[in-house]
Amino acid sequence: MNSSHSKKVIIGLSIAVLFLLISNIATLRKLDMTSRSPETVLEAVTDEVETIEDETPSTSIVGKIVLVIDDFGYRNDAVSDGFLALNVPITCAIIPGHRQSSEFAKKAIAAGQEVIIHMPMESTLNTPGEDEYKLRSGMTSEEIEWRMNEVLKEIPEAVGMNNHQGSKATTNGKVMGVVGSVLKKHEKYFLDSRTASNTVGEATMRQLGVPTARRHVFLDNDPEVEKINAQLNTLVSVAKKRGIAIGIGHAKPNTLEVLKQRIPILVNEGFQFEFASKVVE
């Protein structure tokens, strides 16, 4: 047998061996696949889907909305209880000096809501009510401080304060300076309800280092449902634009009904509700 013929035989045998190896590997892989149960294959697919779902980013917050509801203390009934049951943070502004004031403060805290004092302050109009609590521009610093301290003792659950009326008092630097000094001493915040365009409340608090913020929208100066919805739309627009919007409403039936209808929708749209204490600075 010559060398040329030997080489051809060796090459032929090598090809045959290689073919057999490839065939055996393919057969083994088929056997492995057929030996797997349908449940095993389904589990593998399910694990892959779950991994993809876990990596899906969560919905971002469209804007933050703060709802401050004034005039709790005038009532303690199904309407006021309805605000406590809205399932979002509500800052309850309680007017002092009424039979229901202290009782409602405790109820609000038990419901997981936030309490602030809705402090009566002098208006440019001659408005009656809460005369023994009202802060007036003609008072001495000692008188203002005494009234502030009495109210803080009456509603110890309060973490802050906003003004009830006050279109005159909030424009007076002396009055707001004393208010701010007392709040700072007791580590409370001040929310300027802005019942006057020339209020110095917010600016004074910033100078004194008292956490503060301002109201952006009044929800229910007009008590009609359509008007309240329109004002809430304005509040939503502010939240989208600024990131945070503070709205003040009152413990009234129509305001409650509008919020009951709209809050679940706004939550689904990506709005987050916060206490006022979370946004003051």
pLDDT in tens, 83-108: 999 999 999 999 999 999 999 999 99
Spatial CA neighbour of 5 closest among 231, 241, 20, 13: 13
CA distance 257 to 221: 15
- Cβ neighbours of 242 (radius 10 Å): 12
Summarize the confidence of residues 159-187 as an average pLDDT: 98
User: What mean pLDDT, rounded, does the chain reach?
Assistant: 85
User: pLDDT digit string (tens) for 23-36?
Assistant: 444 443 443 433 33
202, pLDDT greater than 80: yes
Report residue 22 as tokens.
Answer: 């490839």
- How sure is the predictor about 59, in pLDDT bands with cuts at 50, 70 and 90? low
Provide the pLDDT for residue 54: 35
pLDDT at 16 over 90: no
* Fold entry, domain 63-278: TIM Barrel (3.20.20)
This prediction has a pTM of 0.79
Burial (CB < 10 A; 0-12, 13-18, 19+), residue 183, is buried
